[in-house]
Copies of this chain bind each other. A is one copy, B any other.
Amino acid sequence: MVDTGGMEKNTATQILDVAQEMVRNRGYSAFSYADISQQVGIRKASIHYHFSTKDELVKELVKRYREGMMRACDRITQSNASLDQQMFQFAQLYRNGLEEEQICLCAMLAADYAVLPQPVRDEIQAFFQETETWLTNLLQQGCDAQLWTCQPEQEAKGLIALFQGVQLLARSAAGTTTFEQVVYPLLATKFPSR
């Protein structure tokens, strides 16, 4: 992220930040302009100046989230970490959200898929597609280097599904260390450090 040097965030960004936390916690249907209004400190009507409709707001939200995810993946790629370390760092992206008891924005919206407008659906599909492509590429490198054997594409789908599923279960299992218990042993087995 860019260092703003202590500058205040602009209102649109504040709105997106609050909206993001709310969607990740409650889902699309259970957050409102009134909620945002209260936390940002402006009136409901003022939000419409920045985002004309709720659908528009959420579309921008997912777009920002998707771009942030891709930047995080790129940083992993450009680090000089070994491939197994890169796998671990990727898993950490999901674990980090869990610390604040928040699941992936797009996992939550995947659950709400049936009630979403098409532009938002498109952004979500793009998110999963890009993530899967990135992970497939990483797995392929490991296959090429004979670090592990796998079928990269289906393995990538499976890992992403596992991460999303663990996040989902973790909130109803209330504070147990499910992520560590499930994911870490699996990574260590499948993707051993040389």
Contact = CB atoms under 8 A, between A and B. Distances in A.
A169 B159 CA distance: 11
Nearest to A158: B182
A112 B166 CA distance: 15
Contact of A173 (B30, B125, B154, B186): B125
Contact of A25 (B25, B114, B154): B114
Interface stretch (A50-58, A67-75, A81-89, A102-110): A102-110
Contacts of A164: 165, 168-169
Interface residues of A, number: 43
Interface in A147-179: 151, 154, 157-158, 160-166, 168-169, 171-174, 178
B121 A172 contact: yes
A160 to B, nearest CB: 7
